[in-house]
Amino acid sequence: MTAENKHDHDLAPTIFVLFGATGDLAKRMVLPAFYRLSLEGLLPRQWLLVGNGRGDVAHEDFRQHVHDVLTEFGPKPEPAQWKPFAERLWFAGGGFTTDSPGSLLDDLAKARTALRGEPQLVHYLAIPPVAFEETTSALGQHGLVKDARVVYEKPFGTSPEKFRALDKVVHSVLDEQQVYRIDHFLGKEATQDLHTLRFANGLFDAMWNRRHVESVQIDVPEKLGITDRSVFYDATGAVLDMLVTHLFQVAAEVAMEPPASLGALDLQAAREKVISSFRTLDPSEVVLGQFTGYHDVPGVAAKSSMDTYVAARLWIDTPRWRDVPFYLRTGKRLAQSRQRVSLILRDPPGPLAGKLPAESNVLSFSLAGDGDIDLSLLTKKPGPGLDLDRGTAALPLSGLVGANPLPPYVRLIHDVLTGDRSLFTRPDGLAAVWNSVGPLLENRPEVAPYAPGSWGPAEARELIAPGRWLVGQ
């Protein structure tokens, strides 16, 4: 079955407007996800994708660009699937501002005619955060917000003040139910499996609290650098790019109280409520780093002090988690790329109390790929003596019968098309995030150098002592 005759018949006709259509984010994430949706039959029967950018690009040239993108990043376009998909790709050039809509209005008028009616508009802002306010205002100025849905990439603001200013502009143009603030870590299969593991299994629900959990690690080291994103990254850094977005959101997924249901409103409410209990980050409990050679990357300012690494101790002031440290770590050009959440369990009382090695019992989740769940525990080594050894039980989620995991961007864009906001952030939660990180932005620790291919500054090992980072060290 080809992409031409496989569709989600329950979805309304849709025009998907991709701002920044020739940029890095669209290239690496959005366009491959959209093509995968087509292959999976998860797009409406009637749809068009209209790319937007400053240049004047012919439809055919844009289609060739998308073909090149998919050839590099996948899914690789095969002729039978590519041709019907490509016919639905258009490009509207000339930029898009409050002063000038470029050719977008004309192309949307033609698109509406082609789809015969008033199709749903989905605007995806795959553009730098600095352009969010102007583009949002332009959508309102040019009459493109009625019943539309608007997707904002992270970070949603770059400081508490800029968050409030952006939020004010967004709500002057859009109702909250029209807004989809994307954080692709919430779209990961394994992030969602946190809910199921905890709420569907009494064994884990019973130990999900300060009585049984000694500490939590959320660890996302990355081997890759910033070459393709240097200008964006030098204006953002690890704190804004990863800590206040992905890592804080995953911490909320771990720490939330059981929601009334897993529906969108209840799930969002539980997530945002626990974020409001995040204690303000103490700069003395944060380590910032920058890999050696950062200043040699084209696009980076010669004397930039931007962080490419952050490790932080986060405290969550709820009865369930009070006094349990959450250790968050991420960075560029590190020794390995991993995405792992680990709950380190306390030693149980009894005859072996005080005799067990550190980190004996660990429940961990890989957030990478299709995800897997690992349980590390101590057991008696077979033999005549009472010799203890660590064993691991692993459950690869992709091995479940009938499993068909979707990459995060595929899942989240499909949720936008269906109107499901459960895996998207809300302004009250983001306001709490910015309140938590505000003092760190105002009083940044000195950025420590670290060697590419290492595990970052030595200060991060001191931060977690007497424990240790479970990934890599």
Q: Which two tokens stand for residue 340?
A: 């792992």
Distances in whole angstroms, Cα of residue 277 to Cα of each of 219, 436, 469: 21, 9, 25
Here the tokens at position 400 are 């479940």
The number of residues in the chain equals 473
Could you list the beta-strand ranges (E) of 106-174.
120-125, 149-152
Of the candidates 122, 158, 130, 132, which has an alpha carbon nearest to the alpha carbon of residue 33? 122
Active site residues per annotation? 246
173 φ, ψ (degrees, to nearest 5): -110, -35
Smallest CA-to-CA distance from 26 within 299, 443, 413, 425 is with 413
Q: How many CB atoms lie within 10 A of CB 360?
A: 17
Q: Which residue has the tokens 């429940």?
A: 363
State the DSSP code for 268: H
Q: Which residues contact 39 (CB under 8 A, 6 or more apart)?
A: 3, 75, 81
The dihedral sign for the CA sequence 20, 21, 24, 30: positive
Q: Which of these, 167, 228, 456, 212, lies nearest to 336 by C-alpha position?
A: 456
d(CA 356, CA 365): 23
Q: Where are the beta strands (DSSP E) in 20-139?
A: 47-52, 89-92, 120-125
Query: Using an 8 Å Cβ cutoff, are 144 and 15 in contact?
Result: no
d(CA 462, CA 458): 7
| Rounded Cα distance, 146 and 175, in Å | 10
Burial (0-12, 13-18, 19+ Cβ within 10 Å), 60: exposed
Q: Which amino acid is at 377?
A: L
C-alpha of 295 from chain center: 27
> Shortest CA distance to 424 belongs to which of 209, 196, 120, 124?
124
Cα of 469 vs its chain's centroid, Å: 22
